[in-house]
Amino acid sequence: MPSFDIVSEINSHELDNAINQTNQEIARRFDLKDSGAKVSFEENKITITADDKFHVDQVKKTLESRLIARKIDIRSLKEDKLETSLSEARQHFTLLEGIDTPNGKKINQLIKSSKIKAQSSIMENKVRVTAKKRDDLQTIMEMLKAEKFELPLQFNNFRD
């Protein structure tokens, strides 16, 4: 039976490239040169550090443009509260990877309510969909692409 997996993943190599390009642009840009601005990545968090909120916002825009250029969906970043002190400002972003249980259940309900003869099951951080016809799976993919989720979805492991 044909099947595919619905996942939400971030290519770590492309993410690292986007962060490095952002840091290079910060070093080159005249308005950010002496602002002490930098972007760092540790485990599942990206941190933007600069002298003030304005510079953090400028670096954030630069980072977002680099992520888009590297085909990383911005919806995979969850913005945390801006921390400011007298000498610096910090903005943290948490990376959202994997499909959590509520979103997995929402995907399952969408598939069942579509009346397409297909089965779906939640498996850790992904949802596996199986059907007898390949066309049914492609219809499900198009339906899920049209639906707006808080996290980006990718379809992989397509088997005939």
Antiparallel, parallel or unpaired: β 38-42 and 45-50: antiparallel
Over the stretch 51-74, which tens digit does the pLDDT of each residue have? 999 999 999 999 999 999 999 999
Domains and CATH numbers, the chain: 3-8+98-159 (3.30.70.860), 12-95 (3.30.70.990)
Q: Phi, psi (5° rounding) for residue 4?
A: -150, 165
Over the stretch 90-130, which tens digit does the pLDDT of each residue have? 999 999 988 888 888 899 889 888 888 888 889 888 999 99
Q: What pTM was estimated for this model as a whole?
A: 0.84
The predicted pLDDT at position 14 comes to: 94
SS3 labels along 45-72: EEEEEECCHHHHHHHHHHHHHHHHHCCC
DSSP at 146: H
Amino acid 83 reads E
